Amino acid sequence: MKVLVTGGAGFIASHIVDALIDRGDDVVVVDNLCEGKRENVNPRARLYQIGIGDPGLAEVFDRERPDIVDHHAAQINLRKSVEQPLFDAEQNILGSLNVIANSVRCGVQKLVYSSSGGAIYGEPQYIPVDEKHPVNPVSQYGVSKYCVEHYIELYSRQNDMDYTVLRYANVYGPRQNPFGEAGVVAIFARQMMKGERPSIFGPGDKTRDYMHVSDVVAVNLLAIERGSRLICNIGIGVETTDQQIYDAVAGALGYTQTAIYTEVRPGEIQRICLDCGLAQRELGWKAQVPLERGIADTVAYFKEKGI
């Protein structure tokens, strides 16, 4: 089938593009290359350098007529969403609306959407967080990701387009941006390799649910065929502290310096991990890569790249 992947030059989606091509799909990548890298794009994919909010996206859909859209393009900087909420809404809400509307117009069979299990629930009332947990985002980024879920559901009801929404935990792995605001594994690895002392926001006890990018690839391939009109969490279901991540990356690199501890950032929750039982039941998916092995794989990648 033909699959259009938005954000396909980025960290997560470029791995999905590789897997789709490896299984024989015809893949189209839409990416403005503001965050994504051209070198991440599989040479067997067709790249359109265009933003998802650009009116010219309609021409791409008209020319390619994809069967499936896997929508990953987004503004992912949580701090920027708090400081520049209009920019965040422009990219994540209006841009996504452009993708959804063109998908409907061109008869796309199914839309797979990457949402956020870490940002939309807010500070958890219980852990692990399942899909029945109240949604109460504490950042503009969380609001924008959840808003798009509603638009997808609405357009699906009105136009009979199928969808699966995947609410990701924190994803790490090769190709993650080590210079960004998000992606603590990559950021720590780069700074330690340069002999710098990484910063931890707060005392190091903030928790997240971390999963390797290969597990995300696997669930996206499954979601193309399964999980009709499903919204589900995607993670490991284990709380891991910032300090544990720091220690794991330091251990993989043989780094011995301590972190610098700074103030907690606004808009960040302090604890979360996800209950992913629904994804296991409906998609037949469960994360396979343990944290220690995943971090070793990621560190080896950055060593090889000399980053």
Long-range contacts, 78-81 (Cβ 8 Å, 24+): 78/119, 78/139, 78/141, 78/181, 78/182, 78/265, 78/267, 78/268, 79/181, 79/265, 79/266, 79/267, 80/181, 81/139, 81/140, 81/141, 81/144, 81/267
Note if 261 is an active site residue: no
3-state class (DSSP) for residue 286:
coil
Which of 121, 141, 146, 246 is catalytic? The answer is: 141
Q: Which residues have CB under 8 Å from 132's CB, separation 6+?
A: none
- CA–CA separation, 24 vs 221, rounded Å? 12
CA distance 291 to 7: 25
Show the tokens assigned to 295. 């971090």
- Residues serving a catalytic function are 141
